[in-house]
Every structure is written in C-alpha cells, then in structure tokens.
Amino acid sequence: MNFDLPDEILELQASVRRLSQEKIKPRAREIDATGEYPQDVFEAFRDAGLTGLCIPEAYGGAGAGILGLTVAIEEVTKYSNVTGLMLLLTRLPTGPIMIAGTEEQKQRYLPGIAEGTTRCGFGLSEPQAGSDVAGMRTRATPDPDVEGGWILNGLKCWMSGVVQADWYTVFAKTGDPSSRAHDSITCFVIDRDTPGVSVPRTDRKMGVRGVDTGELLLEDVKVGPQNVVGGVGGFRLAMFGLNAMRPIVAARGIGLAEGAIMYATEYVKERAAFGQRISDFQGIQWKLAEIATEIEAARLLTYRAAWLADQGKFTKEWVPHLSMAKMYATEVAVKASGIAVQMLGAAGYMEDHPTELWYRDAKQLTIVEGTSQVQLGLIARGLLNHDLWWD
Ligand SMILES: Cc1cc2nc3c(=O)[nH]c(=O)nc-3n(C[C@H](O)[C@H](O)[C@H](O)COP(=O)(O)OP(=O)(O)OC[C@H]3O[C@@H](n4cnc5c(N)ncnc54)[C@H](O)[C@@H]3O)c2cc1C
C-alpha cells in the first residue's frame, strides 16, 4: 500500500497551487460580485493545459485521469468554487462519450475540450425530475425521414455552463415515456447550433456565480444516429460517467473546506479577546482540530475514489465507495465553511472576508450530481448488498 501521490501528480499539484494563488485568489470576490463568466481564468486553465487534464492523450489531453483532475480541482477550489466547477465541466459532459461513445464521437468532441477551444454542458435534470431521473419527460421519437434519426422535445434545467457550451450531453426517453426502466433512456450529444436548441432563461442563485446555470429548451431538435451515445437505451452505460464523477465533485468539497479553514486559522492567530489570542482558547483549537481531521478523512476517501475511478472501478459494486467520498466531502465543506464564518465573528459575515462567499458556495455541493440523501441511499443499497467489507 502506498499513500504517496505519483511524482507527476505532485508536480501538477504544485503548479496548479501557484496558478490558483496568482490568478484565482485575487479574482474570486469579483467573479462572485459581477456574476460574469471569468474568461481570463478559463484562458489561464487552457494555457496551463488544465482543460485537457482528464482527456486521454490520444484526443489531445494530458491523460492525467480522474486523480489528476481531482488534485487540480482541490487546489483551485481553495480560492473559488466556481473555478472548480469550470474544470469539472471538462469531465461531466465528456464522461459518457469517453466511457460509451464511438470513436467518431471521441474524435469530434474531445480534442476541442482538451485544447480549450470548445465548452460543453450536461443535461440530465428537469424541473420535475432531479433526483428522480427516471421521471424525466424529455422525449426522443424516431425521425420518420432519417434512418436511425431522432427528434427531441423537452426542457432541461439548472444546467451548469449552459450559456457558454458549444455542445451538450442530453438524456431523453426513447422508450415508453411512462417507463421507469433505465433502458427507456438514451444519451445524446447535441451541438448548440442545431435548429430548435435554445437557452430560454438563466437562474439567479445564492452562490457559484460566474458560470451560468439555466434551462436548455429542445423543440423538434433533429439529430442523426451519430448523436446517440452508448446505444439506444444505453443510459446505464452513460451513467457510469456520473459514478466516475463522484471524486471530482468531492474534490471541490475538500478544496473549499481547506481554503476556509486555512483562512480561519490565520485569523484566530491574530484576533484577540479577553486579553489573549483567540487561538489560545482550547475551544477554538479543538474545533479546528476536529474539522482538520474530518477534512483529512474526506481527502482519503476522495483520493481513493479517484484512484478507483481511474482503475475503471465505477460500476455498481464500487458505487458505495464513490458515493461516500461525494457525500462526506461535500458535507464537510458546508461544515468547514460554517466554522470559518463563526471563527471570524461579525467580520466573517461581511464581504470584507471570503468566508461568507465560501459559506454560500459550499451548499451547492451537497445538492448537485446526486444530493447527500441520494448518495446515502446508494451507500445503503451497497451495504445491504454486501458490496462493502463483508465476511
Ligand atoms: C448550482 C447548480 C448547478 C447544477 N448543474 C446541473 C447540471 O449541470 N446538469 C444537470 O443535469 N443538473 C444540474 N443541477 C441539478 C442537480 O443535479 C439537482 O438539483 C439534483 O439532482 C437534485 O434534484 P432536485 O433539485 O430536483 O431535488 P429533488 O430531487 O426534488 O429533491 C429535493 C429534496 O428531497 C430529497 N430527496 C429526493 N429523493 C429522496 C429520497 N429517495 N430519499 C431521501 N431524500 C430524497 C433530496 O435529497 C432533496 O433534499 C444543478 C443544481 C444546482 C443547484
């Protein structure tokens, strides 16, 4: 057993740490205040080769895998959760293509993401169907004029990066619309400029501002058989992409938690009350020690989950391990950001310090890509099936 990160990942960590301190830390507050897409940060990521981190070398990427992306996201999210989301979006919509796509789809869609010339979005959620994916109403019906073609109609919502995306991975019912079977759902890749595709609205949200979240409307969108990812009814295969994402979302959690606690730790060493530094109070020290332990536990779960995903261990029997990382790390982020606000007192509540921003930004993480409750359900199912340590 070896707990050391490989040398090339350590080098990546050091370089992304420098980039984050130089380019992201000074911009985090402004990105939140304006809500404008940080094109400068995207270009810095592109120039540093980070947009292609998890894309295989054969398609122009760095081939650093889920672990590479996890470590990079942890570093950038120490200062800005939304920049972690920008890197995450190089993997979320490309996942189904990398895992289940055809060679032609890989050649067409992956190099642009790796080079930072295109962006993409992931359309699973619908207004009435978030956790309950099988309740989706977006439909794809066979195109009578094109052999193997489909016509899509429906509304996706809360899609991250919906405005900036050049293409979307979208899920639609191809089987019986009332069916809850997974093979009634198919994954499609859809170019933004396909007739019938539009973005009718974007959301006003409490945090993670700078990358728009919004709706994608599909009105009689015609696509060919080359747009089907993982075969008709191949939802299960495409969902492996989501399983493999758990450590990447978890990385945003541990990065945010580390950033918040690093900041609070420096503050309590300076702040005085009752004639002494507040860091000398045992109550403050124990609180920091406890959350530091939880962050380290979350890091171990997250790195292990990234390692599992890179071994191709994202199928059903590995789900509990992947879900534990996502659930625990994101809950730790919420807890750590709350502790940071509390340790700064009134100052922590004001915009003079980044703590209130971390506090607002953290909450998104326990909701996206499977809420904490959904992850608990998956962990429990694995436990009941003896997929964990069991005699
Ligand atoms: C900022 C942001 C960005 C997002 N980006 C994307 C994106 O890019 N693409 C995309 O497709 N979606 C995206 N989403 C949507 C996100 O994936 C969904 O919000 C999430 O899956 C939860 O669905 P819901 O909001 O409909 O909640 P619901 O499913 O309505 O759940 C409401 C509450 O009930 C709980 N609940 C539901 N089912 C159960 C159960 N079986 N047992 C116990 N509790 C349960 C949930 O945990 C939650 O607390 C984004 C959301 C946010 C906030």
Pairwise CA distance, residues 74 & 262, whole Å: 14
- The total number of residues shown for the chain amounts to 391
b/e 263-283 (16+ beta carbons within 10 angstroms → b): bbeebbeeeeeeeeebbeeee
Residue range 180-229, pLDDT digits in tens: 998 999 999 999 999 999 999 999 999 999 999 999 999 999 999 999 99
Do residues 170 and 218 make contact, with C-beta atoms less than 8 angstroms apart? Answer: yes
pLDDT at 16 over 80: yes
Check residue 341 and give its pLDDT. 98
Question: Domains in the chain and their CATH numbers?
Answer: 7-115 (1.10.540.10), 120-233 (2.40.110.10), 239-384 (1.20.140.10)
pLDDT at 237 over 80: no
Q: Which residues pair with 213 in a beta bridge?
A: 160
* Residue 371 alpha carbon, nearest atom of ligand 1: 47
Residue range 48-100, pLDDT digits in tens: 999 999 999 999 999 999 999 999 999 999 999 999 999 999 999 999 999 99
Check residue 1 and give its pLDDT. 87
pLDDT at 328 over 90: yes
State in Å: Cα 133 to ligand 1 middle.
10
Pairwise CA distance, residues 33 & 31, whole Å: 6
- Confirm whether pTM is higher than 0.85: yes
Query: Percent of the chain, pLDDT > 70?
Result: 100
Query: Percent of the chain, pLDDT > 90?
Result: 94
Residue 104 structure tokens: 């032609």
Residue from 187, 283, 301 nearest 239 by CA: 187
pLDDT at 165 over 90: yes
Pairwise CA distance, residues 203 & 225, whole Å: 32
pLDDT at 239 over 90: no
Average pLDDT over residues 318-340: 98
Ligand 1: lining residues by beta carbon, under 6 Å: 122-125, 130-132, 158-160, 205, 208, 213, 364, 367-369, 371, 373-374, 377
* Angle CA 364–365–371, to nearest 5: 100
115 catalytic, yes or no? no
Pocket test for ligand 1, best of 85, 90, 131 (most atoms within 8 A of CB): 131
State in Å: Cα 171 to ligand 1 middle.
16
Other Cβ atoms closer than 10 A to 34 = 11
Check residue 55 and give its pLDDT. 97
Average pLDDT over residues 165-194: 95
* Residue 156 alpha carbon, nearest atom of ligand 1: 11
* Residue 162 alpha carbon, nearest atom of ligand 1: 8
Other Cβ atoms closer than 10 A to 237 = 17
CA distances from 259 to 164, 264, 324, 359 (A): 27, 9, 21, 11
Pairwise CA distance, residues 126 & 328, whole Å: 26
Check residue 390 and give its pLDDT. 85
Residue whose CA is closest, atom 18 of ligand 1?
130
Average pLDDT over residues 240-262: 96
Pocket test for ligand 1, best of 368, 369, 378 (most atoms within 8 A of CB): 368
b/e 373-384 (16+ beta carbons within 10 angstroms → b): ebbeebbeebee
Q: What type of residue is 13?
A: Q
Selecting among 126, 258, 356, 369, the annotated active-site residue is 369
pLDDT at 241 over 90: no
As a whole number, the mean pLDDT across the chain is 96
Check residue 265 and give its pLDDT. 98
Would you call 58 helix, strand, or coil by DSSP? Answer: helix
Do residues 211 and 164 make contact, with C-beta atoms less than 8 angstroms apart? Answer: yes
pLDDT at 35 over 90: yes
